[in-house]
Structure 1
Amino acid sequence: MAEFVLVPGAWLGAWAWDEVAAELRAAGHGVHPLTLSGLAEKRDVPAGQRTHVQDVVGEVERLDLRDVVLVGHSYSGIPVGQAAALIGDRLARLVLVDAEVPVEGGSFASGWWEGQAKFEAILAGGDGFWQPPAVDEFEGQGLTDEQTARLVAGATPHPAATLTEPATPARPLSDLPATYIKCLLDGPEPNSDVAALLAGEKWRLVEMNTGHWPMFSEPRPLAALLASEAA
């Protein structure tokens, strides 16, 4: 059985994985959802992007986990991808769920689809945080009204420094065994950085016909997919 470390994306805490975690535990796996510094119950902890890398590495080391399947969603692909390279032979597989990937010297802001200047303007209006989206911004993502309400109610402002601090990967991600889960309602194709990694021998692509938050919209299929990637 694998040890899953589940890391949520922007605005979210470990609670976002509750349904997925329950399914994985029922299948006999060890499951360790992780709230990153500055978010949810840790919202008062100062955080930069390097803090989040250390959050992940520290959790694996603190629990002395082996055969780790390290799962990152959305923003957290950046710190999780870097952490995967730092935990050595503890890593069984990296799984990125509709996520960004770390690029040397790049950040979440620099990879923003509308350009870095546009994203930094959004942050400038957030008093040091990226404010959570309104309910209508989740439309078209395969979420029920109840799922959207739960997501919005639990979201907390995301520390801006984690989004602008550059990544410093310790080794090429192409060297790591990895699966990329593309959620098709959020766009049919991975971005160019992910596509380049998928061209390598150690990365594989899996698609889900749902939106960007499958831990809410399709928790059982997502859990089954994660379990299959640990086999």
Structure 2
Amino acid sequence: MILIAGHWLGAWAWDEVREHLTADGWRTIPMTLPGLDERDPKRASRTLDDQAMAIEQTMTQAEASEAQPVVIVAHSGANAPVSLVLDQHPELVRRVVWVDSGPVASGSIFAPDAPEDLDEFPLPPFDALGEQASLEGLSTEALERFRARAVPEPGPVLRQQVKLTNDARLAVPTTLVCCSIPSAQIMELANSGHPMFAEVSNLDHVDLIDLPTGHWPMWSRPGDLAHILAAAAASPAN
């Protein structure tokens, strides 16, 4: 099971979830995407293509094949590079689990208004962040850790357009873990063509699971999230 966190986060974001999964016998590989490694001197120039390539390399490390495809767990802004990987190698993914996230549509740009000279985008103040994504359930300790360990998001990642051409990606079995927005509301938005969720209505096989909490359930409800991930990974391909 490959675990990929969203903007500003690295592999460390999954530590608590991994403890639960490991205790239950699951092998997990958490990732730090290119651009989010503070030790990388060129991290601000990394792109979505770089991130997709790194995911592919991790899949190779996990010995992914058509005979033994892997489960990918993608949280939040990891949806763009993971969507690219699903487009390029759908046969290598047995199931994708979106955590308070979902697949992006071709042509999507995370921040189309971001200026070309924006090198990186640091974690905003929490009062501003909370207006965009729910902080429900996060302790003071979790917020302090988030602030201390967050790495600015590379500008190229925010500006790059996602280009998808392979409809086979839509047949990959999918689980949506719905946290800050209930599943019923997500399906209403998807079926109405809302740009953030329109791709969900195109999926061939999708399971929706509600986990009411904020946008970072790996910290607010790690045990419950781990249980959901394990069940999703163990479920048969549709």
Q: Distance in 2 between matches of 1:181 and 1:57?
A: 23
Q: Distance in 2 between matches of 1:34 and 1:81?
A: 16
Three-state SS of the structure 2 residue aligned to 1:167 is coil
| Counterpart in the other structure of 1:27 | 24
Three-state SS of the structure 1 residue aligned to 2:29 is strand
Q: Distance in 2 between matches of 1:185 and 1:106?
A: 21
Q: Distance in 1 between matches of 2:87 and 2:171?
A: 9
Name the amino acid aligned to 1:178. T
1:109-128 aligned within 5 A: 109=111, 116-117=112-113, 120=114, 127-128=118-119
| Counterpart in the other structure of 1:204 | 207
Q: Distance in 1 between matches of 2:16 and 2:199?
A: 32
Name the amino acid aligned to 1:156. V
Three-state SS of the structure 2 residue aligned to 1:40 is coil
| Counterpart in the other structure of 1:174 | 170
Whether the aligned pair in 2 keeps the contact of 1:40 and 1:154 (CA below 8 Å) is: no
**Number of positions where the alignment pairs a residue of Structure 1 with one of Structure 2:** 217
Alpha-carbon deviation of 1:167? 0.9
Three-state SS of the structure 2 residue aligned to 1:161 is helix
Q: Distance in 2 between matches of 1:107 and 1:159?
A: 14
| Counterpart in the other structure of 1:84 | 86
Name the amino acid aligned to 1:25. T
4+ residue runs of structure 1 moved beyond 4 angstroms?
A: 185-188
| Counterpart in the other structure of 2:157 | 162
Alpha-carbon deviation of 1:87? 3.3
Q: Are 1:132 and 2:127 an aligned pair?
A: no
Q: Where do 5+ consecutive residues of structure 1 fail to align? A: 110-115
| Counterpart in the other structure of 1:112 | none
| Counterpart in the other structure of 1:47 | 46
Whether the aligned pair in 1 keeps the contact of 2:183 and 2:208 (CA below 8 Å) is: no
Three-state SS of the structure 1 residue aligned to 2:178 is strand
Whether the aligned pair in 2 keeps the contact of 1:211 and 1:217 (CA below 8 Å) is: yes
| Counterpart in the other structure of 1:7 | 4
Q: Distance in 1 between matches of 2:144 and 2:2?
A: 25
Name the amino acid aligned to 1:60. M
Three-state SS of the structure 2 residue aligned to 1:107 is coil
Whether the aligned pair in 1 keeps the contact of 2:104 and 2:199 (CA below 8 Å) is: no
Alpha-carbon deviation of 1:82? 1.9
Please, what TM-score do these two structures have when normalized by structure 1?
A: 0.84
| Counterpart in the other structure of 2:179 | 183
| Counterpart in the other structure of 1:74 | 76
Tell me the percent identity.
30
Distance 1:128 1:100, change over 3 A: farther
Alpha-carbon deviation of 1:198? 4.1
Name the amino acid aligned to 1:175. A
Three-state SS of the structure 2 residue aligned to 1:93 is strand
Please, what TM-score do these two structures have when normalized by structure 2?
A: 0.81
Three-state SS of the structure 1 residue aligned to 2:197 is helix
Q: Distance in 2 between matches of 1:24 and 1:67?
A: 19
Q: Distance in 2 between matches of 1:76 and 1:186?
A: 20
